């Protein structure tokens, strides 16, 4: 059996480009997803029935259907209604963000609901209205609590972003596939792709663990 390590080394620059695209997709999707998730998470704890209903539909749809199907729906389905084509990058970012937003909405909802009743009562007794209470008392504490969960979502998205290879967006997995069509060496290349994903997820989970430790230290001060 020969294992062509030289081939892996040669492929690294191209795989590196893919890795950057994967990171870009993930960072953007989780950033936009956090904005969406905060909005929809707030709607899910709102007493307004319509807000609650709309947010629940959104969360249920994007968590209850496969990301792969959502990707096809946006990339191939939406242009039919819009009347103009979407480029791959836009379609990928839109789908990944909407999907991540649904998962983050649940994280935010749980974070808000985990804040002690006393905090709400204290805010009320200071004469705050709902908006002020959320902005100055509840959300800051909730966000601190959900940082580890957001980190996990980041890792999940990093891996799931490989699904956009099916619309030929050249992220890490797709770059690997393209190299294989030239070299006919799937074992070496997929192995390298896997190791690169592993490297990223390990680095990020270390970083999350570190942040978690720091936050714990701060909260006992």
Q: How far is the CB of 107 from ligand ARG (least distance, A)?
A: 10
Select the residue whose beta carbon is closest to ligand ARG and give its number. Answer: 156
* Among the residue ranges 37-45, 77-85, 152-160, 208-216, the one whose residues contact ligand ARG (CB under 6 A): 152-160
In angstroms, what CA-CA distances link 159 with 36, 85, 194?
20, 27, 10
Q: Tell me which of 78, 128, 156, 204 binds ligand ARG, using CB under 6 A.
A: 156
Q: How far is the CB of 1 from ligand ARG (least distance, A)?
A: 33
* Among the residue ranges 11-19, 39-47, 106-114, 150-158, the one whose residues contact ligand ARG (CB under 6 A): 150-158
In angstroms, what CA-CA distances link 108 with 100, 134, 146?
12, 12, 7
Q: How far is the CB of 133 from ligand ARG (least distance, A)?
A: 29
100 binds ligand ARG (CB under 6 A): yes
197 binds ligand ARG (CB under 6 A): no
Nearest to 34 by CA among 142, 118, 136: 142
Q: How far is the CB of 104 from ligand ARG (least distance, A)?
A: 8
Total residues contacting ligand ARG (rule CB under 6 A)? 10
Nearest to 42 by CA among 178, 138, 124: 138
103 binds ligand ARG (CB under 6 A): yes
Q: Is residue 188 a contact partner of residue 3, using CB atoms and an 8 Å limit?
A: yes
115 SS3 class: coil
Q: Tell me which of 99, 134, 176, 179 binds ligand ARG, using CB under 6 A.
A: 99
Residues 6 or more apart whose CB falls under 8 angstroms from that of 105 comprise 36, 37, 38, 39, 40, 41, 43, 44, 55, 58, 59
| Cα–Cα dist 106/112, whole Å | 10
Q: Tell me which of 67, 86, 93, 146 binds ligand ARG, using CB under 6 A.
A: 67
| Cα–Cα dist 19/25, whole Å | 10
Q: How far is the CB of 117 from ligand ARG (least distance, A)?
A: 30
Residues 6 or more apart whose CB falls under 8 angstroms from that of 68 comprise 163, 166
153 binds ligand ARG (CB under 6 A): yes
Backbone angles phi, psi at 185, to 5 degrees: -125, 75
Chain contacts with ligand ARG (rule: CB under 6 A): 66-68, 99-100, 103, 153, 156-157, 160
């Amino acid at each position: 059996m020969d294992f062509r390590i030289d081939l892996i080394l040669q492929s690294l620059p191209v795989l590196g480009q893919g890795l950057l695209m994967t990171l870009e997709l993930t960072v953007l999707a989780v950033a936009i997803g956090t904005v969406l998730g905060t909005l929809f998470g707030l709607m899910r704890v709102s007493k307004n029935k319509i807000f609650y209903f709309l947010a629940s539909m959104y969360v249920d749809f994007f968590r209850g259907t496969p990301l792969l199907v959502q990707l096809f729906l946006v990339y191939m389905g939406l242009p039919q209604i819009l009347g103009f084509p979407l480029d791959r990058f836009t379609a990928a970012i839109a789908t990944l963000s909407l999907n991540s937003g649904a998962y983050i909405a649940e994280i935010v909802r749980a974070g808000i609901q985990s804040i002690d009743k006393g905090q709400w009562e204290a805010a009320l007794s200071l004469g705050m209205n709902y908006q002020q209470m959320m902005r100055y008392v509840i959300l800051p504490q909730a966000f601190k609590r959900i940082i580890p969960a957001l980190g996990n979502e980041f890792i999940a998205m990093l891996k799931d972003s490989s699904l956009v290879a099916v619309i030929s967006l050249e992220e890490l997995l797709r770059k690997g596939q393209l190299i294989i069509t030239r070299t006919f060496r799937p074992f070496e290349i997929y192995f390298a792709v896997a190791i690169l994903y592993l490297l990223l997820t390990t680095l990020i989970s270390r970083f999350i663990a570190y942040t978690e430790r720091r936050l714990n230290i701060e909260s006992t001060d």
